[in-house]
Structure 1
């Protein structure tokens, strides 16, 4: 689906994009195949018919997020030095990343696209993206100092910056304020007090169950391809242990730390105080129906939960082990590779990205944390409830280990989730689950990196 956002008044027209040829498909065929292998089968692809003057942008935002993106594009397009933008919206999931790779390899790339930052390692090394010119971005008022180091550190490959983050979208906790208050879990400001240890979280689950009269902490994971991994990754990072996926393997995982984490997950979701067998939708329905005091979810569910009538609070994922860490990802702007890009058009693409990140207060209304930190200091952001309550999650962000097969919507997350799900359902021990995770990671690492 495409939408055109014309400049409402005359503006200078950047030079037309140079001709693109099929030879790039041959040149980057291996890289595109790597993206296909990581993402899954190619489905039907939307196409863009951008004029020479319009900036073509690709993203995967639909529903409420899609409407907010429309609002942001309209805001930057409607200024005296606005943009003519043709936006193409593609379905989220593996097919999006396949189409993005094939467009860059086949000479059909958009000027700007959205990429989950966790997927950068599958695109930048293979020449599917072009780096940003930081001096040019600085000319438009955006510098590296405007982003949290935990997120900015993942924007780079080989010394160059290939992604400019729009947001940080963390895995957090939402809670029923009335149940949490009754359970004695709120501080003097009415916010969730720090928990700080495995025992404290277990006790909180029991107290919330007593307060709600039903369940304590809800977590929908059954048949989900990412939920278990999000929770495990946050808790594992809190132990201070490293989880790395070096090309060729083997995976570098602290098995003792991983077993400690899975053991805690099994204790927390014991099937009594906190159910262990919920799928995503049933966990959501239970929380909205006030049959649980807390739920572990991505912040992107905020709009749905705010409509529910639950007296809603939110907080970063609790620190359970030795150091604070919150599992996140980031929707980021990238420049899909173009052969001999027109300098003026590329300049306008940089200006467009700079203007869009400055509009991220609008984006924050859906729950996403603006990656552009000057927005976080605005009084309007501080007034957002409960968004401002978990803004600190961006400072301790943890993403998937960088490798071409990992990241949002990847088979890696799915393969990590399966043994974790088995452990939570009581079908296997923590030790066996971790050994299976190691085997799955090693199997993926033995596959040759097609983008190297």
Structure 2
């Protein structure tokens, strides 16, 4: 890989300790101090680098594969923060299995920069061996030839088959009968709750879990009872300036109405009544008592973690935050308020970025690497994500994880973004929702007008061809 930070003229200083360990490090970054372990270097590098980090096999100072003769694999992903640290540990663990490969990670900035870089690599013949994508982005990439399909017979040789995944999760990786991605996880929108607040509010059942909430009005009653305990809010939910957070809650409630949102035609097929009812209910929540009317995501996180609310609408990725906060809590799927169990979600999924002439043995090593990560994904669950590989979820070790086992059923009721070339995590789709609907949340604007503007905006996109 070309070092973007090399000085002009081709000369470069002697490599730092991090570079000898396999990292690409900005030249302004300070090397580690004496006595720093390889794992500490890994953690520090991922935390410090905001752009691209190439993380080596961590098997010593030699280049990947130089000692063992193993095949070097290029693995790209967009996982940062705690997820990035966790993935780096998983890759280090599977590299140590001695299965004939040494995987090196390239970590790219989340969102549009990542997906643009991945598309350019596929078109330009510089693709990695495998890359993580959100499952919701497959519909925009596979039709343009940017992804190669998975050979399911070869995958089965490494003990990974369709039967190892929930139907909804497996099907999301396919397009017109061809499998373009293999899910690592699902990460749904769920509900955390403070068990002490819930107990004082009389909302716990005899099993110590939140008593069942069976309809929208009952949820309001529970939230108000929790507000009476905290003196601030019953529910934390931040959305201001955040189209993703707005969409996650809206789409969860919308699909609980068993409503259709189909983008396969020339115009969107939607259920306006279900949309208006969902938005009107969100307005009821944002009344200043149940929930702050104008909070952003960071404010909501801080409020719940400090015990100033009883419940929190968020993603499973906030599990480490809650544990670090030291509050008494549990988590569960968002209660079914409108008749049909449903949760918004996405999945991190392994893909094969297009290669014109892939080497069969290189591909075989890639399949082994992905299979090893799936079989070892219990550690991925520790940080909150629900493993897609069901033998892990069904294991005794996973079932003993709390609250992970309590919210794992959300994977059975998940709903991905409607399929279109412009939808999915890191796309502009949720920004369109922010632009057209935020005033419905923030200023009590007419839900029908806001949703109508959103539909008109996406109909404009549907009239355009897929640029890839």
TM-score, length-normalised on structure 2? 0.85
> How far apart are residue 242 of structure 1 and its match?
0.6
Report the counterpart of residue 48 of structure 2 in structure 1.
Answer: none
Contact 1:11 1:81 in 2 (8 A): no
> How far apart are residue 82 of structure 1 and its match?
4.2
Rounded Cα–Cα distance in structure 2 between residues aligned with 1:130 and 1:291:
49
SS of residue paired to 1:124: helix
Contact 2:140 2:466 in 1 (8 A): no
Contact 2:238 2:299 in 1 (8 A): yes
SS of residue paired to 2:191: strand
Rounded Cα–Cα distance in structure 2 between residues aligned with 1:184 and 1:272:
18
| 1:325 corresponds to 2:326 | no
Q: Return 4-13 or 256-265, whichever deviates more.
A: 4-13
SS of residue paired to 1:250: coil
Report the counterpart of residue 184 of structure 1 in structure 2.
Answer: 202
TM-score, length-normalised on structure 1? 0.88
Instruction: Give the gaps of 5 or more residues in structure 2.
Output: 1-52
CA distance 1:325–1:107, change in 2 (3 Å): same
Within a 5 Å distance, the mapping from 1:51-66 to structure 2 comes to 53-66=71-84
Rounded Cα–Cα distance in structure 2 between residues aligned with 1:245 and 1:273:
34
1:354 is matched with which residue: 350, 361, 371?
371
- The size of the alignment, in residue pairs, is 411
> How far apart are residue 450 of structure 1 and its match?
2.3
Report the counterpart of residue 56 of structure 2 in structure 1.
Answer: 4
Contact 1:114 1:333 in 2 (8 A): yes
CA distance 1:392–1:405, change in 2 (3 Å): same
SS of residue paired to 1:169: strand
CA distance 1:222–1:385, change in 2 (3 Å): same
Q: Return 64-73 or 391-400, whichever deviates more.
A: 64-73
Report the counterpart of residue 423 of structure 2 in structure 1.
Answer: 406
| 1:428 corresponds to 2:460 | no
Contact 1:212 1:293 in 2 (8 A): yes
Report the counterpart of residue 266 of structure 1 in structure 2.
Answer: 283
Rounded Cα–Cα distance in structure 1 between residues aligned with 2:84 and 2:56:
14
Report the counterpart of residue 213 of structure 2 in structure 1.
Answer: 195
**Where in structure 1 do 4 or more consecutive aligned residues deviate above 3 Å?**
6-13
Report the counterpart of residue 39 of structure 2 in structure 1.
Answer: none
Rounded Cα–Cα distance in structure 2 between residues aligned with 1:89 and 1:206:
43
| Aligned residues: CA RMSD | 1.5
> How far apart are residue 130 of structure 1 and its match?
0.3
1:388 is matched with which residue: 380, 402, 405?
405
Rounded Cα–Cα distance in structure 2 between residues aligned with 1:418 and 1:294:
27
Report the counterpart of residue 133 of structure 2 in structure 1.
Answer: 115
